[in-house]
A and B are shown apart, each in its own frame.
Chain A
Amino acid sequence: MTKLTTRLVFYPAIVLVYSILLIPLVIVIATSLTVQSAPTLPTDGVTLDWYVSLFENQRLIDAMVVSTIVASATAVVAGIVGTITAFGFVRSEVRMKETLATIMLLPLMISPVISGVAFLRFGSLLPIPRGYPQIVLAHSILALPFVFLIVRSRLLTFDERLEDASVIMGANRLETTFNVTIPIIAPAMIAGMLIAFVISFGEFTATQFLVTPSTTTVPIIIFNQIQTGLSPEISALATTLVILMVIVSVTGDQIGG
Chain B
Amino acid sequence: MKFGNVQLPELPSLGLFRDRSTGKILMAIGLGWLTIFFIIPVFVLLFESLNFGSGSLFENYSTALSSTYTRTLGRTLAYALVTTIVCLTLGYWISYYIAFKAKRQMLMLGFILLPLWIAIIIRYFGVSLFFLPTGPVQQLFGTDFGVLFSTTGVIVGLTAALLPFAILPIFNSLQSIDEELINSSKVLGATPLHTLRTVVFPLSLSGVIASALFVYILAAGSFLAPALLGGPGDFMMANVIEQSFSYSIPLAAALSVVFTGALLILIGIFNHYANISEVLSDL
Contact = CB atoms under 8 A, between A and B. Distances in A.
A99 B277 contact: yes
A202 B120 contact: yes
Contact of A25 (B126, B259, B278): B126
Interface in A88-103: 88-94, 98-103
A111 interface: yes
Interface string B258-283: 01100100010000000111101101
Contacts of B114: 21-22, 25, 246, 249
A196 interface: no
B14 A161 contact: yes
Interface in B75-125: 90, 93-94, 96-97, 101, 111-112, 114-115, 117-125
A167 B44 contact: no
B24 interface: yes
Contacts of A28: 122, 125-126, 129
Contact of B42 (A26, A93, A114, A205): A114
Interface in A117-151: 117-119, 121-122, 125, 137-138, 141, 144, 148-149
B258 to A, nearest CB: 11
B17 A167 contact: yes
B277 A119 contact: no
Interface residues of B, number: 93
Contacts of A192: none
Interface string B41-57: 11011001000000000
Contacts of A246: 114, 117
Nearest to A239: B122
A79 to B, nearest CB: 13
Interface residues of A, number: 94
Interface in B236-257: 237-239, 241-242, 245, 249, 252-253, 256
Nearest to A101: B277
A205 B223 contact: yes
B112 A219 contact: no
B42 A21 contact: no
B203 interface: no
Interface stretch (B27-35, B65-73, B173-181): B27-35
A38 B127 contact: no
A122 B13 CA distance: 45
Contacts of A87: 23, 26
Nearest to A122: B41
Contacts of B245: 117, 209
A111 B41 contact: no
A61 B39 CA distance: 35
Contacts of B119: 198, 201-202, 204, 219, 241, 245
Report which residue of B94, B126, B221, B275 has the largest number of chain A beta carbons within 10 angstroms of its beta carbon.
Answer: B126
Interface stretch (A8-16, A44-52, A183-191): A8-16
B29 A112 contact: no
B154 interface: no
A25 B228 CA distance: 16
A137 B37 contact: yes
24 contacts: A1-B192, A10-B93, A17-B112, A22-B115, A23-B130, A24-B125, A24-B127, A25-B115, A28-B126, A28-B129, A31-B129, A84-B30, A99-B277, A105-B276, A106-B38, A113-B242, A118-B44, A160-B15, A167-B17, A204-B121, A204-B223, A222-B122, A223-B121, A248-B117
Given A1-B192, A106-B34, A112-B223, 7 more contacts: A21-B111, A21-B163, A104-B34, A109-B263, A118-B42, A222-B122, A242-B122
Interface of A: 1, 6, 10, 13-14, 16-18, 20-28, 31, 38-41, 81-82, 84-94, 98-115, 117-119, 121-122, 125, 137-138, 141, 144, 148-149, 152-153, 160-161, 163-164, 167-168, 198, 201-202, 204-205, 208-209, 219, 222-223, 226, 230, 234-235, 238, 241-242, 245-246, 248-249
